[in-house]
Amino acid sequence: MKVLVLGAGQLARMMALAGAPLNIVISAYDVNTDTIVHPLTLQKLGTGLSNAIADAEVITAEFEHIPLPILEQCQQSGKFLPGSEAIQAGGDRRLEKALLARCGVASASYLVINNEADFKQAVSELGSPLIFKSALAGYDGKGQWRLKAPGQADAVWQQMADFLAADAKQAIVAEQFIGFNRELSLVGVRAGSGEVNVYPLTENHHVNGVLSVSLARPVNIMLQQQAEQMFAAIADNLNYVGVLAIEFFEVDGKLLVNEIAPRVHNSGHWTQQGADVCQFANHLRAVTGMPLGNTELLRPTLMINILGEDHVPAAILSIAGLHLHWYGKQKRPGRKMGHINLSADSLAELKARFARLIDLLPEAAFPELEQMLGRVSD
C-alpha cells in the first residue's frame, strides 16, 4: 500500500516508521518546493503534485496550513483522507469555530475581527481579558495578542491592524480569556465505517505557547466521557477518517474546546511507548481501511519535547523506560528537534524516573519541568 503525506516534517517521518511493519510505503510531498521526498532521508523522489497523487493509493496530511489549490487537487482525486473540509477547519479558526458551534460543542465565546469596528465590538461585548488569534497560520503560540485591560486597547489594535493590512486573506478571532484548571487533549481515531477508538485524556504543560510535556495516566471517567462525546460529535459531523486531536481547557470539571488538529498530534507522541498501537499506526490503519488498533493505556507515560537542541546528555539513556526520538532536523532556536518518552508501571515509579531525568537535563534548555513533576502523582 502506498500512502502520500502532504508535508515532509517529523509527523510524516513517524508515520513512515509506523507504516513499515504494516507494509505501508510512505512518500512525502513538500508543499513549499513541489517535490516528493522520502520522509526519513528526505531524498528527492520526484517532482509535481500530479505525479505524487498518481503514484499513491491514499493521500493524507501531517499539518493543516496547506494551500487551497493543493487541497482541492487532492480532494478531486478521491484518495484524500480525512478530506479537504477537515483540514481547512483545522487551519482556519473561523471555520473551526463554526464547526464547533454546528456540532454543539462548548468553546470560548468569540467574535471575528476584520476591522477596527469589529475590534471595538469585541472589547465591548466580550469584555477583558481577551485573547486574539490569527485566523490563518497560527500555531505554537504564534499570531496571538492579549488584551489584559481596556486601557491597552489602542496599542493592541495597532499591532493587529498592521497584521491585517499585510494579508487581505487574514482575520483575527477574539476569544474570552478562559481561567482554566488544566490543559488537556484527546487523541482519537475514526474508521470509514464510523468506528471510533480513543486514547485517554492527556494533561499538557506549555512554555511560551509551545507544548513542553504531555502526561498520560489513568483519568477521571467523567472528563473522559465528556471528551469522547465531543470527539464523536466533531468526527461524525465531518465524516472523519483518521486520527483527530482535540485540545481542551478544563474549567471546574467541565471541558471547553480550545482547538482541533485534523492529524496526528504532538500530545499523542506518548502512544509510541504507552499504548498497544500508537497514533501513527492507527492513523494509517484508518486511512487504508485496516482494522483499528487498541488505544488503551498500557502504562503511565510522559512525553517531553526537545526544543532547539540537537543533543541531550547520553546518561539519560540509562533511565529505565526512556525512549529517545530524534527528527533529523537542523538546529534552530525553538524548533521541535525531537522528543523523549518516559514510561513506568506505576505513577510513583514514573515520578521517580522523571525526577532523575530532570536532574540530568540542562535546565535552560528544558525550563519548567519541575512544575509538571508534582502533577505526576496527583
Domain layout of the chain by residue ranges: 2-80, 109-176, 182-373
**Angle of helix 93-103 versus helix 221-237 axis, rounded to 10:** 110
* Phi, psi (rounded to 5 degrees) for 109: -60, 145
Q: How far apart are CA 223 and CA 244, in angstroms?
A: 18
For the cut 80, the answer to whether the pLDDT of residue 332 exceeds it is yes
User: b/e map of 335-356 (b: 16 or more CB within 10 Å)?
Assistant: ebbbbbbbbbeebebbbebbeb
**Mean pLDDT score of the chain, rounded to an integer?**
96
Q: What is the pLDDT of residues 228-252, one digit of tens each?
A: 999 999 999 999 999 999 999 999 9
Bridge partners of residue 324, in order along the sequence: 340
- Of 372, 304, 315, 307, the C-alpha closest to 343 is 304
Q: How confident is the model at residue 361 (pLDDT cuts 50, 70, 90)?
A: very high
Determine the pLDDT at residue 208: 87
Q: How far apart are CA 51 and CA 39, in angstroms?
A: 17
Mean of pLDDT values over 111-119: 95
Q: How far apart are CA 13 and CA 125, in angstroms?
A: 45
The arrangement of secondary structure in 2-80, i.e. its CATH architecture, is 3-Layer(aba) Sandwich (3.40)
Mean of pLDDT values over 189-210: 96
CA-based angle 121:124:130, to the nearest 5? Answer: 95
Contact (Cβ atoms closer than 8 angstroms) between residue 19 and residue 26:
yes
- Residue 148's alpha-carbon distances to 35, 122, 155, 258, in angstroms, are 44, 13, 12, 19
Q: How many residues does the chain have?
A: 378
Q: What is the pLDDT of residues 45-91, one digit of tens each?
A: 999 999 999 999 999 999 999 999 999 999 999 999 999 999 999 99
For the cut 70, the answer to whether the pLDDT of residue 271 exceeds it is yes
For the cut 90, the answer to whether the pLDDT of residue 308 exceeds it is yes
Determine the pLDDT at residue 153: 93
For the cut 90, the answer to whether the pLDDT of residue 272 exceeds it is yes
Q: What is the pLDDT of residues 128-171, one digit of tens each?
A: 899 999 999 776 667 899 999 888 999 999 999 999 999 989 99
- Residue 179's alpha-carbon distances to 129, 155, 189, 251, in angstroms, are 10, 24, 29, 7
Q: What percent of the chain has pLDDT over 90?
A: 93
Determine the pLDDT at residue 10: 98
CATH number corresponding to 182-373: 3.30.470.20
The arrangement of secondary structure in 109-176, i.e. its CATH architecture, is 2-Layer Sandwich (3.30)
Determine the pLDDT at residue 143: 84
User: b/e map of 232-265 (b: 16 or more CB within 10 Å)?
Assistant: bbbbebbebbbbbbbbbbbeeeebbbbbbbbbbb
- Residue 104's alpha-carbon distances to 87, 151, 232, 350, in angstroms, are 20, 34, 11, 38
pTM to 2 decimal places:
0.95
Mean of pLDDT values over 324-350: 97
Q: How confident is the model at residue 378 (pLDDT cuts 50, 70, 90)?
A: low
Q: What is the largest CA-CA distance in the chain?
A: 60
Q: How is residue 277 written as a grid cell?
A: 498501537
Q: What is the pLDDT of residues 21-45, one digit of tens each?
A: 999 999 999 999 999 999 999 999 9
Determine the pLDDT at residue 141: 62
Q: What percent of the chain has pLDDT over 70?
A: 99
Contact (Cβ atoms closer than 8 angstroms) between residue 288 and residue 56:
no
Q: Residues 246, 202, 368, 330: is their CA dihedral positive or negative?
A: negative
* Host H or E run for residue 182: strand 182-190
